[in-house]
């Protein structure tokens, strides 16, 4: 561990030009005293490192010194594709390896290329978690990621909307979508999607399987999610929507494309649109938030349900002394 830290420390000094003992201690999660000992070991090994005193000082390498000890370790090579995604890399247990691999790659670049890579890393950041949500990484994610990499079968208990069921699967990949992790695994002869947070128990076996050579995770995911969304929202509603209503529907995210395809507004500023929906109840609850900025043209059941919900809201907000209506509404 100490040898690995010394190499990482050397590469970091080369990339940054210099760093204080406090900053290095935070970077490597060790004490300042440990950093001073590491600097002494580097100097004893012939590395031209020196202390720059005064404000803005710290440890630096002699101008022009470059290390060539930038070979990637096995875990760093695995984490290579996660460079630039510190959150997902950390969630998968590859945060340190991804950081070390990034440092080695940048250290191996010519001076101009290394400076450009550092600038890109400093100024662009990927945050996959949606607004008003916290990163809630499931505890089972790391061992499942290991099974994906090692091509070992998983035995797991999975809680889906149809109930709890035991599965034996061949993990093919992990996907991070909208802040949630999904496992793509072959079960009962075909690839399936499992939400990692719904895996209640798991056992990584020692049974190694052959990954289908033609399986393309990204292409399969795109096709499957498009099919799922079309199947999930199999019905439609026909609406007239004001300019404000159209903007509110677009802000829902999942309906942004639908809103963009709405017909050109008429003389009164209202547009006609066809909205994909899951069912009457889901659509009524969704459209209630758009307020008076829409008219439901079809189906009739949706118009009536939306009206019933609006009337129930009015009744509950009529006054503090009014009797609340029954919470059960058909």
Given a cut of 80, whether residue 254 has pLDDT beyond it is no
136 in any annotated domain: no
Tens-digit pLDDT profile for residues 38-77: 888 888 878 888 887 766 668 888 876 766 555 555 565 5
Ranked by mean pLDDT, which of 17-26, 53-62, 100-109, 216-225 comes out on top? Answer: 216-225
In the chain, how many domains are there? 3
- Residues 118, 8, single domain; the answer is yes
Reported confidence tier of residue 120, pLDDT bands at 50, 70, 90:
low
CATH number at residue 46: 1.10.10
- Residues 8, 110, single domain; the answer is yes
Given a cut of 50, whether residue 107 has pLDDT beyond it is yes
324 in any annotated domain: no
Given a cut of 50, whether residue 329 has pLDDT beyond it is no
Tens-digit pLDDT profile for residues 138-171: 889 989 989 998 999 999 999 998 899 999 999 9
Of the residues 205, 224, 243, which one is the last residue of a structural domain?
224
- Residues 261, 214, single domain; the answer is no
Ranked by mean pLDDT, which of 35-44, 47-56, 176-185, 291-300 comes out on top? Answer: 291-300
- Residues 206, 249, single domain; the answer is no
198 in any annotated domain: yes
- Residues 104, 81, single domain; the answer is yes
Q: Which residues contact 197 (CB under 8 A, 6 or more apart)?
A: 136, 138, 180, 181
Mean of pLDDT over the chain: 81
- Residues 64, 110, single domain; the answer is yes
58 in any annotated domain: yes
Write out the residue range of the structural domain in which residue 213 sits: 141-224
Task: Output the pLDDT for position 197.
Answer: 92
- Residues 194, 304, single domain; the answer is no
Tens-digit pLDDT profile for residues 79-93: 555 555 666 767 677
Of the residues 190, 224, 258, which one is the last residue of a structural domain?
224
301 three-class SS: helix
- Residues 7, 113, single domain; the answer is yes
- Residues 189, 269, single domain; the answer is no
Tens-digit pLDDT profile for residues 190-215: 999 999 999 999 998 999 999 888 89
- Residues 105, 26, single domain; the answer is yes
CA distance 107 to 168: 44
CATH number at residue 210: 2.30.30
- Residues 216, 266, single domain; the answer is no
Task: Output the pLDDT for position 330.
Answer: 38
Nearest to 215 by CA among 244, 172, 257, 255: 172
Of the residues 201, 224, 247, which one is the last residue of a structural domain?
224
- Residues 77, 164, single domain; the answer is no
Task: Output the pLDDT for position 318.
Answer: 79
327 in any annotated domain: no
CA distance 86 to 68: 25
In what side-by-side order are the strands of the sheet with 199-208?
Answer: 190-195, 180-187, 163-177, 152-160, 199-208
130 in any annotated domain: no
Q: Any idea which of 117-126, 140-149, 228-237, 249-258 has the lowest mean pLDDT?
A: 117-126
Tens-digit pLDDT profile for residues 267-279: 888 999 999 898 9
305 in any annotated domain: yes
Nearest to 237 by CA among 225, 255, 260, 264: 255
CB 318 within 8 A of CB 277: no
CB 58 within 8 A of CB 12: no
323 in any annotated domain: no
């Amino acid at each position: 561990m100490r040898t690995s830290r010394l190499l990482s420390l050397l590469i970091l000094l080369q990339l940054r030009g210099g760093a204080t003992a406090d900053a290095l201690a935070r970077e490597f999660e060790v004490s300042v005293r440990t950093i001073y000992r590491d600097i002494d070991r580097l100097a004893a090994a012939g590395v031209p490192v020196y202390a720059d005193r005064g404000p803005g000082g710290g440890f630096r390498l002699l101008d022009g010194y470059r290390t060539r000890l930038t070979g990637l370790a096995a875990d760093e090579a695995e984490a290579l594709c996660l460079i630039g995604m510190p959150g997902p890399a950390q969630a998968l247990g590859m945060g340190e390896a991804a950081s070390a691999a990034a440092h080695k790659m940048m250290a191996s670049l010519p001076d101009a290329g290394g400076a450009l890579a550092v600038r890109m890393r400093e100024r662009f950041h990927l945050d996959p978690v949606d607004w008003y949500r916290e990163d809630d990484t499931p505890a089972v994610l790391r061992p499942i990621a290991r099974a994906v990499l090692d091509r070992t079968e998983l035995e797991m208990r999975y809680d889906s909307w149809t109930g709890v069921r035991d599965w034996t699967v061949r993990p093919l990949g992990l996907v991070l979508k909208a802040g949630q992790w999904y496992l793509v695994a072959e079960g009962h002869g075909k690839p399936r999607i499992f939400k990692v947070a719904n895996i209640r128990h798991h056992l990584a076996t020692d049974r190694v399987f052959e990954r289908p050579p033609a399986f393309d995770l990204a292409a399969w995911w795109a096709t499957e999610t498009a099919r799922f969304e079309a199947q999930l929202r199999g019905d439609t509603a026909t609406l007239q929507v004001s300019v404000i209503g159209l903007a509110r529907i677009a802000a829902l995210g999942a309906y942004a494309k639908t809103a963009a395809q709405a017909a050109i507004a008429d003389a009164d500023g209202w547009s006609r649109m066809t909205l994909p929906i899951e069912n009457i109840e889901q659509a009524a609850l969704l459209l209630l938030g758009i307020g008076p900025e829409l008219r439901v043209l079809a189906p009739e059941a949706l118009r009536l349900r939306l009206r019933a919900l609006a009337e129930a809201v009015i009744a509950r907000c009529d006054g503090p002394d009014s009797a609340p209506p029954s919470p059960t509404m058909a």
